Structure 1
Amino acid sequence: MPQAPASPPFVPGMPQVPALSSVAATCDENMVHVQVKKDLFGSGELIQASDISLGGCGVTGEDSVAQLLYFQSYLQACGSQVVMTNDSLVYSFSLTYIPRAISDTSAPIVRTSGAVIGIECHYLRLHNVSSNALQPAWIPYAATKTAEELLVFSLKLMTDDWKFERPSNIYYMGDLIHFEASVKQYNHVPLRVFVDTCVVTAVPDAAAAPSYLFIQNHGCLVDSKLTGSSSRFLPRTQDFKLQFQLEAFRFQQGDTGSLFITCLLKATAAASPTDAEHKACSFVGHKWAGAGGEDQLCSCCDGSCGSRKARDLTSVSGMWTWHPFFRPLSVCADYTF
């Protein structure tokens, strides 16, 4: 259930705090709904819709008669933070009020204080112990699925220096979005991970339109060739990890700034040779290059990279695939201050 912060005791000189009854929130399986009274502080001063946001996202509805403002967001959008405990997932949001100076007078003054209100959604974790793909009602921050072979795939957003998982999913046009795909092995031979395909959509449906398939043809990252961007795979340094970057963009028509990314990850035994269906290729310097030095395998990226002959998938411990559904990204049109 959403939790509202307790009001601190009154101390002379302390700023105003919102009344507890001024904010209400409900959480469903994949969204949070927030209702805010325009008389946020219970003082009779009504706030402006443009002065309050949910993690950077603006008001989605307003009732001028009841003097209410409404927000609606996916759990993974609007600057949410997620914490995993032993038995639950907790999504946290910040409802931020920053009053602007009164614009219809000559005095640059405000009559309300700023405020930040915490909102949380709690969900019990479901543990998957079967070999079937996990189909969650919520979209996990870094989705995982454990197979019978005790393999765990993940796809994470990383910081600019690639050292840490990125806490925010908000980007601006032209920013580089850093991804790290990985596979963990338990009681298994060493593995090598690949990103077979990645598609971007404006809604949480990989088959929806518009869409942009920026990794295709079994590991060909085509964005840099199509748009001249700096999107690419980084040189591989560890078999069980693969890093790549995508230059942030927005869809031209009907764009809300939200991007949903669905990727297909593959893993093979590290001892298996790479081939046309298991590679990581980028278009750099007007030519295709492999993240692991397999440049010759990337020549098919301009055509079709299907296998030329049937392969024995049971050799060298076989091959494993999994579809992780990644949380949405928010791409802003420009910097605002």
Structure 2
Amino acid sequence: MMAFFWQRAVVLSLAAAMLVYADMKLDCSPDTVTVVWTEGRSQADLSLFRLGSCFPTSFSATQAVFRVDFNDCNFRRLVTGDYLMYSNDLTYGSSSDSQSLAFTHPVVCAFARPKDWYPMIYDPVFSTHGVGHLVFHIALMNDDFSGPAESTTFALGSFIPIMASVSQKTHQPLLLLLEECVAATTPELQPESPVYPIIANKGCLVDSRMSGSKFEPRQKSSELQLSLQAFRFGLGQEVFIHCKLVAWDPNGLDSTKKACHYVKEHGWELLDNYAYSTLCDCCDSDCKSRRTRNIESGTRGVAQKAVLGPLTITDETS
């Protein structure tokens, strides 16, 4: 897939003089982009650069570097004619003690539209829209989510770090959600199986109502991190966590496609945008959709069931 890009000189008149002393290099690939901004002004603080919502991957006295996925940093996707375009804004926000003015510069990558890519107004006969195959993952992590857990035993009241993700490859950007999770003492759920509800009601972290469990701030749209406080259910036994993972159109969130947790003294909050926390108002009742077509129709996303475990919760005080 061949990529090309356009760089307009400046979008703000205030930036015109400043860009004389700067240079931007852009390297577009099918899944990622590298932006290197080289600055000639000694008074500029390159840590103040942002690509959409992302901080620089690295920076020095003269360069700010971003190496990011199109699924991150709030890239905008546009299909026009024979091209699939990803666009964003490189911004510089000057600090109060800086002599440099704030400005914005466009970042655009365009690709020849794949022949088997369909815009969402169509309904082709396959389970997901876009290009590529979705692969879901769920795993126990170490305390800072930087790698896999070294142990599957957790003390009662400690936190169990869990990360779910979806590998999207060249698929259109999707948001990873956990629609439902329950704990059980068996690797397969049966109708009569005793369960402990963790996430229910279409994305409500119900366990956070009575514990310190919470969703961690999202690092990537394709990942979801959960700090689950170890519970008494299945104490001392093997415990399996059964979840329904959903990869969903990020522009299609509603009361049935969301990630909500309960924050003490604040109530239910939406992980991805606090301003829209009213989507979580149904978490104490019944979250229903007004849409007649649901996720199984494949119109806006895809779901996958997964099992995590076994893990063991112990009571060190007994």
TM-score, normalised by the number of residues in structure 2: 0.54
Matched residue, 1:274? 253
Number of paired residues? Answer: 185
Answer whether contact 1:210 1:251 (CA < 8 A) is retained.
Answer: no
Give the C-alpha shift of residue 317 in structure 1: 6.0
Q: Separation in 1 of the partners of 2:185 and 2:289?
A: 32
Q: Does 1:197 align with 2:180?
A: yes
Secondary structure at 1:323 match in 2: strand
Structure-to-structure mapping, 1:1-337, within 5 angstroms: 149-207=132-190, 208-225=192-209, 228-251=210-233, 255-270=235-250, 272-286=251-265, 287-293=267-273, 294-311=276-293, 318-334=300-316
Q: Separation in 1 of the partners of 2:169 and 2:162?
A: 23
TM-score, normalised by the number of residues in structure 1: 0.51
Q: Separation in 1 of the partners of 2:160 and 2:236?
A: 18
- Structure 1 vs Structure 2: percent identity of aligned residues? 35
Secondary structure at 2:239 match in 1: strand
Cα distance change on mapping 1:256 and 1:223 into 2, 3 Å: same
Q: Separation in 1 of the partners of 2:186 and 2:296?
A: 37
Q: Separation in 2 of the partners of 1:167 and 1:329?
A: 12
| 1:136-176 C-alpha deviation (Å, 9 max, x unpaired) | xxxxxxxxxxxx94111001111111211112211111110
Secondary structure at 1:171 match in 2: strand
Cα distance change on mapping 1:190 and 1:311 into 2, 3 Å: same
Q: Which ranges of structure 1 fall in alignment gaps of 5 or more residues?
A: 1-147
Q: Separation in 1 of the partners of 2:196 and 2:295?
A: 30
Q: Separation in 1 of the partners of 2:157 and 2:231?
A: 7
| 1:50-105 C-alpha deviation (Å, 9 max, x unpaired) | xxxxxxxxxxxxxxxxxxxxxxxxxxxxxxxxxxxxxxxxxxxxxxxxxxxxxxxx
Give the C-alpha shift of residue 273 in structure 1: 2.7
Letter in structure 2 aligned against 1:267: A
Secondary structure at 2:135 match in 1: strand
Secondary structure at 2:307 match in 1: coil
Give the C-alpha shift of residue 256 in structure 1: 3.8
RMSD: 2.6
